[in-house]
Amino acid sequence: MALREVRVAVVGAGSLGIHHARIYRELAGEAHLVAVVDVDAEARRRCAERFRVRVAAAMSEVLDDVDAVSLVTPTVLHHRMGLEILRAGRHLLVEKPITDSLETARRLVELANRSGRILQVGHVERFNGAVMALSGVISDPKFIECHRLSPYPGRGCDVSVAHDLMIHDLDIVLKLVNREPVSVDAVGIPIFSETEDIVNARIRFASGCVANLTASRVSMDKMRKIRIFDVNAYVSTDYGEQQVLVYRRKPGEIPPDVNPMSWITVEPLSVPQGEPLRLELESFLAAIRGECPVQVTGEDACRALELAETIVAECRKHR
């Protein structure tokens, strides 16, 4: 049976929205890019020229002609525009964070559930091969350390770095631990924006696992790494390089004349290849066609957002 081509609009033609549009165009047969929407006339001109596609200044101009929308606008617009999309009966992929508050995020989730529409949230690191390779390796994490550092982007700074960058790692940690957090301690400071540009958070879970996360958007260098200490292994993951190394202690007693560090094996894991955003959009289209469940649900996004809100509140208690 042939795949049904899903008619899609991309709303927001910024640095990330352009890639949504590009990939939908590349997925001909699975997706048909009907239109790109942006309030900026120059952005519309570039999209019309690059993709040979219809452009519009307002989302209302295209909703009647599509099955689904990728919403890639500033976070403050996610709630209002997400409601409009779902009320029109269209499926929705909304970039992370789902909205700028837990209350509005839950409204989106409730509406999607009532209307029977697909709601997927763009936590793209779930589709990073290095993260996918962790499945089956981690069983009982005891300590997790995450670093996500980058230079100042000039975008996404309408929300705290906890919502903009750290939320990727919060989503992954919540999935790995699969327990509720019981305590959070955090500190964060603004540097260039009016919100936190650097945040460190220490989270303890009901299982006893402790996660230490650092996110910065004012770093001179880029870093996207997660280190996980399990009862059976230490796993080092580099998101950017899509590399996973597993360190294990050899079984048995260490001979008295042997350096203990030589009693550790290092195994590189096979990492699935592919552009994470492409895999994310493919999963969205497959969920619309009923071929698989939604990979990152609105409920998943609400859990990550709730934890991000707790972290930001802790940061501001100390400012």
pLDDT single digits (tens) 59-109:
999 999 999 999 999 999 999 999 999 999 999 999 999 999 999 999 999
Q: What is the mean pLDDT of the chain?
A: 94
What class is the 6-124+277-296 domain?
alpha beta
On the question of pLDDT at 30 being above 80, the answer is yes
Structure tokens at 39: 């309030």
- CB-CB contact of 35 with 53 (8 Å): yes
Instruction: Provide mean pLDDT across the span 234-238.
Output: 94
Residue 241, CA atoms < 13 Å, CB-side half-sphere: 12
Q: What is the pLDDT of residue 234?
A: 93
Q: Calculate mean pLDDT across residues 232-248.
A: 91
pLDDT at 1: 34
pLDDT of residue 159: 83
pLDDT (tens digit per residue) in 159-203: 899 999 999 999 999 999 999 999 999 999 999 988 999 999 999
Q: What is the rounded distance in angstroms from the CA atom of residue 94 to the CA atom of residue 69? A: 8
Between β-strands 91-95 and 119-122, what pairing exists: parallel, antiparallel or unpaired? Answer: parallel
Sequence ranges of the domains in the chain: 6-124+277-296, 126-273+305-317
- Residue 6, pLDDT score: 97
Mean pLDDT of 234-263: 90
Q: What CATH class is the domain 126-273+305-317?
A: alpha beta
Residue position matching structure tokens 């200044």: 57
> Is residue 2 scored above 90 in pLDDT?
no
**The whole model's pTM is what?**
0.93
For residue 179, give the 3-state DSSP assignment: coil
Which contacts (CB < 8 Å, 24+ apart) does range 295-299 have?
Answer: 295/120, 295/126, 295/127, 296/120, 296/121, 296/122, 296/123, 296/126, 296/171, 297/119, 297/120, 297/121, 298/98, 298/105, 298/108, 298/109, 298/112, 298/119, 298/121, 299/109
Band of pLDDT at residue 144, cut at 50, 70 and 90: very high
What b/e string do you get for 49-76 counting C-beta neighbours within 10 Å, with b at 16 or more?
eebebbbbeebeebbeebbbbbbbbebe
Q: What is the reported pLDDT for 11?
A: 98
CB burial of residue 32 (10 Å; 0-12, 13-18, 19+): middle
Residue whose structure tokens are 């796993």: 235
Question: Tens digits of per-residue pLDDT, 107-143?
Answer: 999 999 999 999 999 999 999 999 999 877 888 899 9
Residue 14 has which token pair?
Answer: 């910024």
- Mean pLDDT of the 28-34 span: 95
